[in-house]
Structure 1
Amino acid sequence: MVFRPIKWLFCSLNPIPVEELLDHISAEIYQKSYVVVDGFVDEEFRKALLEEQIALLNQGKFRHAAVGVGEKKQIRTEIRNDQVLWMDAEDLSPLQAEYWEKVEGVRQAVNQRCFLGLRSFESHFARYPIGSFYVRHLDQFQAVPHRLVTVILYLNDSWTPADGGALRMYLPQEDGSELVEDILPLGGRLVVFLSGEIPHEVLPTNKERISITGWLRNID
């Protein structure tokens, strides 16, 4: 197992033209199956999304996340103990609709470069209370083969290594080993990766951790 430091790609203080940014995202997905982008959304938009999520949480709309699908769906706190609120594609708030439009740009760019046949997006708000985690897993498995690309946007106001809660990615290498990368959930940071190729986990968090997690799919 090899550890390598992350090299962050973008900063909101030095914005990149949208077309160039989307081209970079698609190129990195094509070449190495993942990409990390700082400052994908500006601070005003990030704070607005965070405030909306907090308001929905205070309204009691979040539920404990489950594992499995259909009749096999169950809450397993030894596997994951986060809370989620699924977004309704037919009833998005103005902020949610704006975020989906940004992800639509990613979908089109990745399709153009990688020919994945991505057709739709599903997403939920995710909240990890203090002490929560999600053990190692793949986002694409037998019950959900239609999830091809994972898209995560972090909304936290601030984060340090001492806060824990990193996204740990296990990157397969040609020699059969794995390269391990820990990605802190910094506000405005976007992480995109191939759902069926990169095992990952959320390490135990020492403070509340907020994000939007979603998947680009090959179904409508």
Structure 2
Amino acid sequence: MKNEAIANALYEQGWCIVDDFIGEDFRMALLKEQQEILDHGQFRHAGIGKGDDFKIKPEIRSDKVSWMDHRLLTPLQSKYWAAMEELRMAINQRCFLGLRSFEAHFAMYPPGSFYLRHLDQFQDVKYRVVTAILYLNEEWDEGDGGAVRMYFPGENGEESNTDIYPKGGRLVVFLSGEIPHEVLPTRRERISITGWFRDIEY
């Protein structure tokens, strides 16, 4: 029922927040695996653009990422992939978006880091249709910063916005090409699995 509710919210308003999307034990195991990958030096500075246009621009985004390879998933990552596959099918059934694959990376924002306003779907990644972000942190207070601020069109051309804090186990899903957003500066290390449902095969 949870996936159907997400798909319905996506259809009706273009975004959705679900707390406790995964169990606490699974969240803690994923967080531990992320830390082990980080300790082994497998995170890289995130950039903007793709291919020859890829550039590292810390004045725009200052997070670090470790991409998951769908052919070489760990058991924990495979379990998460399976959950995303169920969600993909539910979204397709309700929204008719033709989602065909999923890609994801661990994302780590060190204290003081941020990501300025952007869309997840741009010229080089038009195949990203739906964004799905799962937060893995322990307890998180608003004073810790690091919220995703999502922007929405309002009346008379004025915008409204909503701040979503990275509470552990929380899943945020939204249409990649329609909702501008930014990550506000974080005061604590901020961990997530950031992924995208795509309308292309691997």
Q: TM-score range by the shorter chain?
A: over 0.9
Amino acid corresponding to residue 46 of structure 1 in structure 2: R
**Alignment-derived partner of residue 108 in structure 2:** 127
Partner of 1:155: 136
Q: Tell me what 2:48 maps to.
A: 67
Contact 1:172–1:198 (8 Å) recurs in 2: no
Partner in structure 1 of residue 88 of structure 2: 107
Q: Distance in 2 between the 1:197 and 1:172 partners?
A: 10
Partner residue, 1:80: 61
Specify which of 155, 161, 172 is matched with residue 180 of structure 1: 161
Q: What residue in structure 1 maps to residue 38 of structure 2?
A: 57
Q: CA deviation at 1:174?
A: 5.9
SS in 2 for 1:143: helix
Gaps of 5+ in 2: none
Provide the residue aligned with 1:199 in structure 2. 180
Task: Quote the residue 1:5 is aligned against.
Answer: none
Q: CA separation in 1, counterparts of 2:118 and 2:134?
A: 19
| Native 8 Å contact 1:119 1:219 kept in 2 | yes
Equivalent-residue separation in structure 1 for 2:38 and 2:129 (angstroms): 29
1:96 equivalent to 2:85? Answer no
User: How much does 1:87 deviate?
Assistant: 0.1
Partner SS, residue 2 of structure 2:
helix
Distance of aligned partners of 1:77 and 1:84 in 2 relative to their CA distance in 1, 3 Å threshold? same
Amino acid at match of 1:47: M
- Paired with 2:169 and 2:83, the residues of 1 have a C-alpha distance of 13
Deviation string, structure 1 residues 163-211 (Cα, Å, up to 9, x no partner): 0000100022364332200000000000000000000000000010000
On the 8 A contact 1:111/1:117 being kept in 2, the answer is yes
SS across alignment from 1:55: helix
CA contact 1:146–1:218 (8 Å) conserved in 2? yes
User: 1:130, 1:206 within 8 Å by CA — same for their partners in 2?
Assistant: yes
Q: Which runs of 4+ in 1 moved over 4 A?
A: none
TM-score by length of 2: 0.98
Structure 2 Cα separation of the partners of residues 176 and 21 of structure 1:
34
Q: When the two structures are aligned, how many residues end up with a matched partner?
A: 201
Matched letter for residue 164 of structure 1: G
- Output one character per residue of 1:126-170: Cα deviation in whole Å (capped at 9) or x when no partner: 000000000000000111100000000000011001000001000
For the residue of structure 1 that corresponds to 2:11, the secondary structure is helix
Check if 1:210 corresponds to 2:191: yes
What percentage of residue pairs aligned between the two structures are identical? 60
- Match of 2:7, SS state, is helix
Structure-1-length-normalised TM-score: 0.90
Residue in structure 2 matched with residue 136 of structure 1 by the alignment: 117
Amino acid at match of 2:188: K
Runs of 5+ consecutive residues of structure 1 not aligned to the other structure: 1-19
